[in-house]
């Protein structure tokens, strides 16, 4: 069963209006002056990484492919545009039959990237490519920010599992996308059932403080939870007194209690005390899960603590201080005329304030040292050097309008694990610094 077939609000029937007004007015003007059919190349890239980040993570590629497929102007959408006089009738007629028929190449999801990396290359007529700008950037900027934060947290966790718990801290649809991106970045599960339903991500969860407060005593609450969910459940032990709660939890569930969760206080100190108490009570196999507004720095500070898993919410779904990657979608080459055989001409914005771009249809490859560790991101517009031919990063995603690279989410997750492992060790340091490898232009 495809969850999208059920029409749940985690999907939309059309992505055509996930765009900015000026995309359509540019289209109208281009149709009027005969430039709309010029073959064009747009690229997505970022000029810099968020401050302090050593690498970026590509997130959302699969969602971009879905968005391109669903970019259709149906009757209701066209009527909305007509009533608002957004564009003229000629343009509306053109939009009625819109189907992206070009090619898209890009870094596969889960791959790492650096300033100037051509993360996505969209090729086709100017008219069909320009309309995709906003929805592509909306997805990639959001999902890549979450995936990068998740990756840093996964590195800080050192192999201990991470639970995504941020649904109540963001928009309900963004929460589903955030769960997906977090899974790519290294999280093991999510509390969001919509994300589990839509993307097959493992879901977890037991109870909140409200369940304990509902009952006349903590013992009554624990007894009810264990009776319903079994002794392998996770009991929340910080509603009242932690030490008393741990004692009660083991008495109720027995030494086979699955886990206890700590959601407040000095987590480092409390975790050590709880571990000692559990061991003394014979619950040596009971795991400790900590939550409470964690970020990668808090997770790293708990590296020496007897913590078995982390639950992360707010800081994850907001990109841990960097909710966007500042990616842009720029025209880098266009034909001299509408003739399909007309050669491409490199074009680039020249402006002050660091907003310049590099023209030309680009390739990208990652050069590695003798040990197989990345040492440079190489971006070029001419022939690919023979030494880099087998190190190219862009893969074909859409060919003549048809998606050719859809893959399981697990593939993106594994790709990220391998890509991060191929970076210099300093990539995982949380201290502020520049990109872990330089970008070189060939």
In this predicted structure, the answer to whether residue 4 has a pLDDT above a threshold of 70 is no
% of the chain exceeding 70 in pLDDT: 96
* Tokens linked to 37: 């059919």
Largest CA distance in the chain: 81
pLDDT in tens, 181-217: 999 999 999 999 999 999 999 999 999 999 999 999 9
The predicted pLDDT at position 351 comes to: 72
Q: What is the mean pLDDT of the chain?
A: 95
pTM over 0.85: yes
C-alpha separations of 78 from 14, 88, 92, 94, 423 in Å: 12, 11, 7, 11, 48
Mean pLDDT calculated for residue range 148-157: 98
Q: Starting at the earlier edge strand, list the strands of the sheet with 259-262.
A: 189-190, 162-164, 309-312, 287-290, 259-262, 234-236
The predicted pLDDT at position 432 comes to: 83
C-alpha separations of 18 from 86, 114, 177, 330 in Å: 15, 27, 15, 18
336 exposed, middle or buried (CB, 10 Å; 0-12, 13-18, 19+)? exposed
C-alpha separations of 87 from 27, 92, 96, 348 in Å: 9, 7, 12, 27
In this predicted structure, the answer to whether residue 381 has a pLDDT above a threshold of 80 is yes
User: How far apart, in whole angstroms, are the C-alpha atoms of residue 62 and residue 411?
Assistant: 11
Which residues have a Cβ under 8 Å from the Cβ of 217 and sit 6 or more positions away?
none
Cβ atoms 183, 199 nearer than 8 A? yes
* Tokens linked to 388: 């880099």
Q: How many CB atoms lie within 10 A of CB 198?
A: 20
- Least Cα distance to 242 among 265, 226, 223 occurs for 265
């Amino acid at each position: 069963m495809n969850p999208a077939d059920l029409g749940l609000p985690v999907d939309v029937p059309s992505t055509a209006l996930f765009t900015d007004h000026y995309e359509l007015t540019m289209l109208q003007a281009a149709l009027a002056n005969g430039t709309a059919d010029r073959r064009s190349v747009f690229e997505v890239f970022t000029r810099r990484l968020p401050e302090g980040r050593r690498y970026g993570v590509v997130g959302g590629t699969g969602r971009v492919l879905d968005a391109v497929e669903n970019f259709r102007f149906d009757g209701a959408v066209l009527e909305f545009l007509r009533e608002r006089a957004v564009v003229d009738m000629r343009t509306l007629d053109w939009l009625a039959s819109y189907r992206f028929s070009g090619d898209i190449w890009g870094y596969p999801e889960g791959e790492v990237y650096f300033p100037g990396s051509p993360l996505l290359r969209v090729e086709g007529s100017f008219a069909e490519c320009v309309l995709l700008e906003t929805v592509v950037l909306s997805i990639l900027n959001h999902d890549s920010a979450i995936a990068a934060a998740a990756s840093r947290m996964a590195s800080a966790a050192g192999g201990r599992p991470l639970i995504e718990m941020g649904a109540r801290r963001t928009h309900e649809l963004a929460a589903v996308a955030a769960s997906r991106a977090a899974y790519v970045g290294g999280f093991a599960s999510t509390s969001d059932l919509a994300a589990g339903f839509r993307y097959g991500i493992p879901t977890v969860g037991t109870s909140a403080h409200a369940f304990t407060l509902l009952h006349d005593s903590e013992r009554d609450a624990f007894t009810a939870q264990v009776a319903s969910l079994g002794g392998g459940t996770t009991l929340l032990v910080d509603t009242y007194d932690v030490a008393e709660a741990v004692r009660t939890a083991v008495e109720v569930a027995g030494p086979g209690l699955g886990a206890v969760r700590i959601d407040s206080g000095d987590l480092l100190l409390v975790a050590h005390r709880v571990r000692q108490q559990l061991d003394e009570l014979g619950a040596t196999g009971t795991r400790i899960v900590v939550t409470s507004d964690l970020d990668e720095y808090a997770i790293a500070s708990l590296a020496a603590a007897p913590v078995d898993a982390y639950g992360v919410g707010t800081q994850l779904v907001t990109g841990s201080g960097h909710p966007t990657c500042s990616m842009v979608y720029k025209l880098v080459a266009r034909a001299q005329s509408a003739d399909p055989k007309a050669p491409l001409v490199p074009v680039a914005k020249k402006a002050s304030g660091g907003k310049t771009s590099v023209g030309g249809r680009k390739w990208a490859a990652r050069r590695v040292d003798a040990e197989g560790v990345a040492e440079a991101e190489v971006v070029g517009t001419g022939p690919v050097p023979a030494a880099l031919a087998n190190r190219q990063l862009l893969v074909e995603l859409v060919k003549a309008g048809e998606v050719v690279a859809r893959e399981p989410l697990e593939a993106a997750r594994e790709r990220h694990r391998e890509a991060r492992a191929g970076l210099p060790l300093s990539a995982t340091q949380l201290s502020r610094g520049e990109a872990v490898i330089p970008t070189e232009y060939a």
